[in-house]
Structure 1
Amino acid sequence: MTFIWYLALILISTKVAGHLSTRIGQPPVLGKLIVGLILGPALLGWIDNNDFIHYMAEIGVILLMFIAGLETDLNQLRENWKSAFAVAVAGIILPFVGGLAVGEAFGLAYAYSLFLGVIFSATSVSITVQVLKDLDRLHTKEATIILGAAVVDDVLVVILLAFMMSFLGSGSAQASLGLVIGKKALFFGGVAVAGWLVVPRFMKWLSGIKVTEPVISMALVICFAFAYFADLMGMAAIIGSFAAGLAISRTPFKHTVETKVEPIAYTVFVPVFFVSIGLNISFDGVGSQLGFAVVLTVAAIVTKLIGGALGARVTGMSMRSSIAIGSGMISRGEVALIIAATGLQAQLLPAEYFTPVILAIILTTLVAPPLLKVCFGNNQKTLEG
Structure 2
Amino acid sequence: MNGVALMSFIGTLVLILAGTTLAGHLTARCGIPAVLGQLLIGIVLGPGVLNLIHPSESITQFAEIGVILLMFMAGIESDLQQLKKYLKPALSVAVSGVILPVVVMGATSLLFGYYFQEALFIGVVFSATSVSISVVVLREFKALNGKEGATVLGAAVADDILGVLLLSLMIALVGTNSGTSSHGGTNNLLIQLVFQGLFFAGVVFLVRWIAPGIMYLSNKLLIPTGRTICAMIICLSMAYLAELVGLSGAIGAFFAGIAIGQTSAKKIVDPNIEPISNAVFVPVFFVSIGLSVSFNNFITALPFIFVMTVLAVITKWLGGELGSIWAGFDRRSGRVVGTGMIARGEMALITAQIGFNAHLLERALYVDIIFVIVIATLIAPLMLRLALKGLRNSIDK
The TM-score with structure 2 as length reference comes to 0.77
Residue 292 of structure 1 contacts residue 356 of structure 1 at CA under 8 Å; is this kept in 2?
A: no
Asked if 1:266 corresponds to 2:288, the answer is no
Residue 152 of structure 2 contacts residue 341 of structure 2 at CA under 8 Å; is this kept in 1?
A: no
Shift of 1:182: 4.4
Residue matched to 1:119? 121
Residue matched to 1:73? 79
Residue matched to 2:339? 324
Return the match for 1:224 from 225, 236, 248.
236
Single out whichever of 77-86 and 359-368 deviates more from structure 2: 77-86
Structure 1's 364 and 292: CA in aligned 2 closer, same or farther, altered over 3 A? closer
Q: How does 1:95-134 map to 2 (within 5 A)?
A: 95-103=101-109, 105-106=111-112, 108=113, 112-123=114-125, 128=130, 130-131=132-133
Residue 239 of structure 2 contacts residue 253 of structure 2 at CA under 8 Å; is this kept in 1?
A: yes
Quote the Cα distance in structure 1 between the aligned partners of 2:40 and 2:157: 24
- After superposition, what is the alpha-carbon deviation per residue over 1:331-352, rounded to whole angstroms, capped at 9, x for unaligned? 63232343355456xxxx7xxx
Residue matched to 1:250? 262
Return the match for 1:143 from 149, 153, 171.
153
Residue 37 of structure 1 contacts residue 43 of structure 1 at CA under 8 Å; is this kept in 2?
A: yes
- After superposition, what is the alpha-carbon deviation per residue over 1:230-269, rounded to whole angstroms, capped at 9, x for unaligned? 3334444333223222222232322111221122112111
Residue 97 of structure 1 contacts residue 117 of structure 1 at CA under 8 Å; is this kept in 2?
A: no
Structure 1's 180 and 297: CA in aligned 2 closer, same or farther, altered over 3 A? farther
Shift of 1:217: 0.9
Shift of 1:362: 0.5
Residue 98 of structure 2 contacts residue 159 of structure 2 at CA under 8 Å; is this kept in 1?
A: no
Letter in 1 for 2:257: G
Residue 282 of structure 1 contacts residue 355 of structure 1 at CA under 8 Å; is this kept in 2?
A: no
Structure 1's 172 and 338: CA in aligned 2 closer, same or farther, altered over 3 A? farther
Shift of 1:20: 0.8
Q: For 1:3, what is the secondary structure of its paired residue? A: helix
Residue 301 of structure 1 contacts residue 364 of structure 1 at CA under 8 Å; is this kept in 2?
A: no
Residue 342 of structure 2 contacts residue 377 of structure 2 at CA under 8 Å; is this kept in 1?
A: no
Residue 200 of structure 1 contacts residue 251 of structure 1 at CA under 8 Å; is this kept in 2?
A: yes
Structure 1 regions of 5+ residues with no counterpart? none
Residue matched to 1:215? 227
Structure 1's 105 and 254: CA in aligned 2 closer, same or farther, altered over 3 A? closer
Structure 1's 311 and 278: CA in aligned 2 closer, same or farther, altered over 3 A? farther
Single out whichever of 11-20 and 314-323 deviates more from structure 2: 314-323
Single out whichever of 243-252 and 263-272 deviates more from structure 2: 243-252
Single out whichever of 232-241 and 177-186 deviates more from structure 2: 177-186
Larger Rg: 2
Return the match for 1:357 from 356, 365, 373.
365
Structure 2 regions of 5+ residues with no counterpart? 1-6
Q: For 1:59, what is the secondary structure of its paired residue? A: helix
- After superposition, what is the alpha-carbon deviation per residue over 1:198-228, rounded to whole angstroms, capped at 9, x for unaligned? 1122122233334462221111111111222
Residue 68 of structure 2 contacts residue 249 of structure 2 at CA under 8 Å; is this kept in 1?
A: yes
Structure 1's 206 and 332: CA in aligned 2 closer, same or farther, altered over 3 A? closer
Letter in 2 for 1:195: V
Quote the Cα distance in structure 2 between the aligned partners of 1:159 and 1:245: 20
Residue matched to 1:53? 59
Residue 312 of structure 1 contacts residue 325 of structure 1 at CA under 8 Å; is this kept in 2?
A: no
Residues matched between the structures, number: 370
Percentage identity across paired residues of the two chains: 34
- After superposition, what is the alpha-carbon deviation per residue over 1:276-318, rounded to whole angstroms, capped at 9, x for unaligned? 2212211234444443444344444443443455445434454
Letter in 1 for 2:52: W
Quote the Cα distance in structure 2 between the aligned partners of 1:333 and 1:144: 21
Single out whichever of 172-181 and 75-84 deviates more from structure 2: 172-181
Structure 1's 340 and 62: CA in aligned 2 closer, same or farther, altered over 3 A? closer
Q: For 1:49, what is the secondary structure of its paired residue? A: coil
Quote the Cα distance in structure 1 between the aligned partners of 2:363 and 2:280: 29
Shift of 1:376: 5.7
Quote the Cα distance in structure 2 between the aligned partners of 1:127 and 1:43: 29
Structure 1's 273 and 375: CA in aligned 2 closer, same or farther, altered over 3 A? farther
Quote the Cα distance in structure 1 between the aligned partners of 2:129 and 2:54: 21
Single out whichever of 48-57 and 97-106 deviates more from structure 2: 97-106
Letter in 2 for 1:114: F
Shift of 1:38: 0.7
Structure 1's 377 and 229: CA in aligned 2 closer, same or farther, altered over 3 A? farther
Q: For 1:29, what is the secondary structure of its paired residue? A: helix
Residue 21 of structure 1 contacts residue 27 of structure 1 at CA under 8 Å; is this kept in 2?
A: yes
Quote the Cα distance in structure 2 between the aligned partners of 1:172 and 1:299: 37
Residue matched to 2:252? 240
Single out whichever of 18-27 and 6-15 deviates more from structure 2: 18-27
- After superposition, what is the alpha-carbon deviation per residue over 1:170-208, rounded to whole angstroms, capped at 9, x for unaligned? 933999876666455323211110221111221222333
Single out whichever of 323-332 and 212-221 deviates more from structure 2: 323-332
Q: For 2:169, what is the secondary structure of its paired residue? A: helix
Residue matched to 2:4? none
Residue 239 of structure 2 contacts residue 249 of structure 2 at CA under 8 Å; is this kept in 1?
A: yes
Q: For 1:47, what is the secondary structure of its paired residue? A: coil
Quote the Cα distance in structure 1 between the aligned partners of 2:216 and 2:175: 44
Structure 1's 258 and 377: CA in aligned 2 closer, same or farther, altered over 3 A? farther
